[in-house]
Structure 1
Amino acid sequence: MIEKETIRETLSEYDKENITLGILCSHSALQLIHGAKLEGFNTIGICPEEREKAYKAFPKARADEYMIVDQFDEILEDDRQEELLEKNTIIIPHGSFVEYVGAEKLLEQFRVPIFGNRNSLRWEGKRIKQREWLKKSGVNVPKRYNDPSKIDGKVFVKFSGAKGGRGFFIASSEEDFEEKVKKKIEKGYITEEEAENATIQEFVPGIRYYPHYFHSTFDRRGAETEGGAIEILGMDRRVEPIDESYRGLPNVPEEFFDYTVTGNEPLTIREKLLVNLIDMGIDVVETSKELFSGGINGPFCLETVFHPDEGFTVFEISGRIVAGTNLYPLGSPYSAYLFEEPMSTGRRMAREIKDGAEAGELEKVVY
């Protein structure tokens, strides 16, 4: 694994007055580039050639330069890494960065500094470790089934990685599970290996809320944590084909029973429930410090379902910026109560890097 000390030494050689923020052109790149530019950073977009035109089509979110690659994981090549290091680059991670480059490769091979804590990748990327993290935080989590033969009610089946819900499904018995897995493999939605490592959870009914958190080390205006503060910068609900299945009642096409995320809707929550969200965010952050060195910093999202009688159930944590934040490039109904100026999550990340550089403590938020 790339050691923290190695990254600290790299940062010590950087020209702090000329830091470049590097962003893979996918997921939330427009927001991240836009926010970086608002904070005065140089930017480099890492981009397949066929995407360059699209990413240049938005002048306010156009990178200062582009590194053209055939595949995103080319950034692991030594010459690509050297080019990024020469430009004093700090990579801003998002879901596509982790999915396309690979968490283990980032941990073992990538020498370029990354905003946030690499240690969180091992805990976020493996659902068993995610569950341990959430349970130790004291939040409600769905019942888990270790074997399809134990299914005794409606369950939700999902797979590892930032797949945006692709291939996920509901089952009600072992036979139903096996039949649907077979179809998903035949259609190429999942591999046999992914099927063998499927996560089978209790299906929890309720309303979905995805709060966008930010754990700051340098700014204490949010809810206090040990050594930092929690901010809620926004909230969303994901749009999936299953949400539109009612339009076809009573004859719903089979292809609409699909949980692939196709977009996001803005959302606010009853203020009484903000108390629960703040408490859960603090608990998750404090537990992360116990589980892995440095704990989680920067953006993260708790993927929750709220039931009027059962309260919140947390079924996943994303330890990075999520695509739902793209709804708020100029801030949300919540960020307006924290900052005088428009503040997206992308800009908030750039601001934290700027604060770290000015304090001479970048290593606290970059690894």
Structure 2
Amino acid sequence: MTIAPSPTETAAPATATTTAAGSEASGTTTPTAAETLLAGHRVPRVGLGAARLTAGDGWGVPADPEVPRALLRAALDAGIRYVDTADALGPGVSEGIIGDVVGNRDDILVSTKVGMLRPAQDRWGILGQPDYLRHAVHASLHRLQRERIDLLFLHRIDPEVPLADQLGALAELRDQGKIGHIGLSEPTLEQLDAALAIEPIAAVQSLYNVAARQNAPIIERLGERAIPFIAYWPLIGRGLPADTHDRVFAALDPAARAHQTSVQSIALAWIFHTVPDGLAVVGSRNPAHLRDNLEATAITLSAEEVTGISAAVTEALDGFVFHPRHSPHSTSRA
């Protein structure tokens, strides 16, 4: 087992030259699609991240489980068709809530992750032993009340276990019909390339937003292979010092005003323009916010606007490295 104080790689500063999708290099205006294909399902490009179905932000049993159940029902009513979770959230709590509400419905795409341990709220470990991964998948199936997990992410790659053994265990479960597709969460570029040489990878989920663009090389590689990228922590604000927060929001405000929308909607639209066919998983306890997030797919930014937003946010960050889990004010959400 590898002990990990945080489940995310060290971040790099945002730069103004992100061209993961080529959007900023083009002089044209490119409308974004409201839906995309993920693991054989056509879904809206905004999915629900399930950390807030727990008592806190990814930890603990809620005092009244009916509250997160109602939130999940409201999200589905708002148009959410993709729900993303992990066995480490709770641990196991969000999967249980999803199982209660979604169950074995085939019109809702459900993804979860295995391969990380959560012995305490702020302690994480990586365990990729094949027997453990098999056990974890069966436990997730039970909590989710599903016959098959549509998309199963290896939460982190265990450096102490051969990658072929980790992916081999998941491929075995896929061949048995227990999971539909295999994904990776937060791989390095080298790990991604190694995985692609072993098994088909259906999707990658990693940190990405207008203030955290260190995964642009991974997005570029995925684009070459037509593999979907899913951004977690796509919205900005939490994890930023107060003065940096104010500068970043001020940098996005002109675009928000021009499109008569919110700063957060512009942040989502920026992702959809820099990652063609990419998705974003958002977490909220407010169904109205989820509806606003879904509507962000309809915002069309010009190439000049995308470039301008990138440059303005880079200037606003003033060298600050956006990394939510390294902020004293944040807890884990992936």
TM-score by length of 1: 0.26
For the pair shown, the structure with the greater C-alpha radius of gyration is 1
Compare relative contact order (CA 8 Å, sep 6+) and give the higher one, 1 or 2.
2
